[in-house]
Structure 1
């Protein structure tokens, strides 16, 4: 198919990267990014950190300056959501009634924050954190002494707890798992991270809510735990994951199963529609449906892969899974699958300011997680991607240069 125009629905990392990669790969046709936000495409991870703290602005979060879009000849259509997609004609209809048409449509609509089942939907003091508007509302609601209940101690919940405590809030973090995040960081690192909250004055509770109590205005003033304990609160943040925004795809008749189903080129069940980022779910060559990834790096790589797919290019070699998180003065990085069957090997100790936890299966490095040591994870990613043989002794020994291990040079 001759592609003279591409319309990208969604201005998050995956959508932006699709547009950027198309130009980098030499595509000269029309590119349009459509997004419901009035802000040009911007980065989401800082929303729970610098932006919430007030030390960053929406201009700092922007992926590119306005002149970049002019230089790259990429049109932005902002401030109106897409309400319908006709895949046969490549036409999308906006909430303002406008129709736009392209040879290829890319769905990069991300996901929506899951709602708390107990929430009636009438309270003004319950929050989620997915957009700059969400962050603005949460920041305005927090001041010194604000009693903030955070439900869900995953990455967003934990990062926001740290920022809110810095702003002077009294933070309680509730999660049904003890410790949280085991599937993504492994048990040892999960224990370390969760215990770290106490140093910021954050109370952590293992459990679930059974009731939310509202006042006459409809705002929540207390939450009751399954233990029977009542927590008096001023604000609530819900951080219990996302659901992919597949409504448009479902209505358009695309194949959907906890995400829009795509092949290795990110093409959906309709030949002129692609999907990328958090909302896309890949069917592998053997027919298996892969797990959706909801991290920044995954979205970036997904965007690049989508651009290559549109242009009929083979996918790049897949890099190892990688993400990061910042909270209370510590920087976490993870590469690979920390939940895979493997032996834990520490370089350093959890008592140190920085350390690395490797996961090793025989001579194969399957994953690594570090605190305040980005270079170690960078080396680990190269080792994992190349399949370079390693030994537990070399990984544990701080005298062994990890960079040399990437070249197969052992001690």
Structure 2
């Protein structure tokens, strides 16, 4: 599946199932690339909106709902995109001529290409009583949680990953009494042990109680952990995500059905152009993976680049090569960016003093930058990204020298 696809015909019909960032980037790139054929986006929720602010500015009441929109409401009509919100896809069937029939409510849409962009949903741990907890994935979830976060509200967050930690930081700023329950320090593989521990302990510095245990039982008003019962007005479970797939097989006219190849975590296996094992059916974003092992990165930029890559394939073009995955997180007034996986580096160079922002870390392998992380130091990570993509050798001493203008390393 490595060959560049043939470009879509000008009259080809594209149906995108899902309306998140990957879908929005895909549709926008198609139109920017000159594709003028019919495009339909089927989204089971409301207008496509951004997710990172849900745990931060939106949860804090600092961002209005319209500020979450990925595109202004008029954009879809102006770009001749049929956006169908509050709609669900039923079956997807392939017809003898190779086109698809996509069931959307009482309608059957004909498509030359179908793109699954349905993202993921919260992965609930096997904890008795987990149904009493809230989760956070979309605006409706954030609204439910935001209505509760008043001063002295007791919030117990189960899971200290990005979502759980950002919610804990926002709730603390709103005056809530917050407890975070997680048996491990998150992000060690990505950030390295020292930085991951420093970031995790920021919770304690800002008055959050850290419980290094697993939740054993969730009851209304209580979370049971080994040796203790935690009182809670609200429990939020933030322990990961699982893919959402409206279909795992496509009915094939006269030939039974064609099953999608899935990864170990239930994602659809795709190539760099988003092509699945079923010709004409593509997948993009958090419901997909490039290989049988599962998603390589479930972050904002990864979804955007996925959408742009699939659009390139539909236009008959080769997408640019990607560098290491990149993400950011904001908490307690600090901005953290991470590139690649520091734990996989042969050598880690510290610029500044770890624990005293601003500072940054660079992971080297074979004399080139393969990973980086920065706290309140986005310029350093920006340079690291360019170095990683170029593969240019760099001296560790130059990276470590705070007096060195890192941009000179790009010349």
Both proteins in one fold, TM over 0.5: yes
* 1:259 aligned onto 2:267: yes
Contact 1:104/1:272 (8 A) holds in 2: yes
Identify the range of structure 1 (196-205 vs 107-116) with the bigger mean alpha-carbon deviation. Answer: 196-205
2:43 to 22, 25, 35: 35
Aligned-partner Cα distance in 1 for 2:24–2:36: 16
Aligned-partner Cα distance in 1 for 2:94–2:42: 16
Q: Paired residue for 1:234?
A: 233
1:105 to 114, 139, 152: 114
Q: Paired residue for 1:180?
A: 186
Contact 2:14/2:111 (8 A) holds in 1: yes
3-state SS of 2:357 partner: coil
Q: Once the 2 structures are TM-superposed, how far is the Cα of residue 247 of structure 1 from its aligned partner?
A: 4.5
Q: Paired residue for 1:217?
A: none
Residue correspondence of structure 1 range 268-347 to structure 2 within 5 A: 268-283=276-291, 289=293, 291-347=295-351
User: Structure 1 325/122 Cα, relative in aligned 2: closer, same or farther at 3 Å?
Assistant: closer
Residues matched between the structures, number: 391
Can you list the C-alpha shifts for 1:173-206, whole angstroms capped at 9, x where unaligned? 01121x2211222212101101111222111121
RMSD: 1.7
Q: Paired residue for 2:223?
A: 223
Larger relative contact order (CA 8 Å, sep ≥ 6): 2
3-state SS of 1:383 partner: helix
Q: Paired residue for 1:371?
A: 375
Contact 1:9/1:108 (8 A) holds in 2: yes
Q: Once the 2 structures are TM-superposed, how far is the Cα of residue 327 of structure 1 from its aligned partner?
A: 0.8
Q: Paired residue for 1:155?
A: 162
Q: Once the 2 structures are TM-superposed, how far is the Cα of residue 254 of structure 1 from its aligned partner?
A: 1.5
Can you list the C-alpha shifts for 1:225-268, whole angstroms capped at 9, x where unaligned? 12x11111111111111011134234762221221011121111
Q: Paired residue for 1:22?
A: 30
1:380 to 377, 380, 384: 384
Q: Once the 2 structures are TM-superposed, how far is the Cα of residue 100 of structure 1 from its aligned partner?
A: 2.0
3-state SS of 2:74 partner: helix
Please, which runs of 5 or more residues in structure 1 have no aligned partner?
214-219
Aligned-partner Cα distance in 2 for 1:268–1:81: 21
Q: Once the 2 structures are TM-superposed, how far is the Cα of residue 290 of structure 1 from its aligned partner?
A: 6.0
Q: Paired residue for 1:216?
A: none
Contact 1:150/1:236 (8 A) holds in 2: yes
Q: Paired residue for 2:210?
A: 204
3-state SS of 2:216 partner: strand
1:396 to 396, 400, 409: 400
Aligned-partner Cα distance in 2 for 1:69–1:203: 45
User: Structure 1 121/83 Cα, relative in aligned 2: closer, same or farther at 3 Å?
Assistant: farther
Contact 1:359/1:367 (8 A) holds in 2: yes
Q: Once the 2 structures are TM-superposed, how far is the Cα of residue 343 of structure 1 from its aligned partner?
A: 1.8
Aligned-partner Cα distance in 1 for 2:293–2:101: 28
Aligned-partner Cα distance in 2 for 1:24–1:306: 13
Q: Once the 2 structures are TM-superposed, how far is the Cα of residue 294 of structure 1 from its aligned partner?
A: 0.4
Q: Once the 2 structures are TM-superposed, how far is the Cα of residue 370 of structure 1 from its aligned partner?
A: 0.4
Aligned-partner Cα distance in 2 for 1:382–1:333: 14
Aligned-partner Cα distance in 1 for 2:248–2:55: 29
Q: Once the 2 structures are TM-superposed, how far is the Cα of residue 119 of structure 1 from its aligned partner?
A: 4.2
Q: Once the 2 structures are TM-superposed, how far is the Cα of residue 389 of structure 1 from its aligned partner?
A: 0.6
Aligned-partner Cα distance in 2 for 1:103–1:34: 15
Q: Paired residue for 1:93?
A: 103
Contact 2:129/2:217 (8 A) holds in 1: no
3-state SS of 1:53 partner: coil
Q: Once the 2 structures are TM-superposed, how far is the Cα of residue 393 of structure 1 from its aligned partner?
A: 0.8
3-state SS of 2:178 partner: strand
Aligned-partner Cα distance in 2 for 1:296–1:87: 32
User: Structure 1 250/329 Cα, relative in aligned 2: closer, same or farther at 3 Å?
Assistant: farther
* 1:127 aligned onto 2:134: yes
Residue correspondence of structure 1 range 141-152 to structure 2 within 5 A: 141-152=148-159
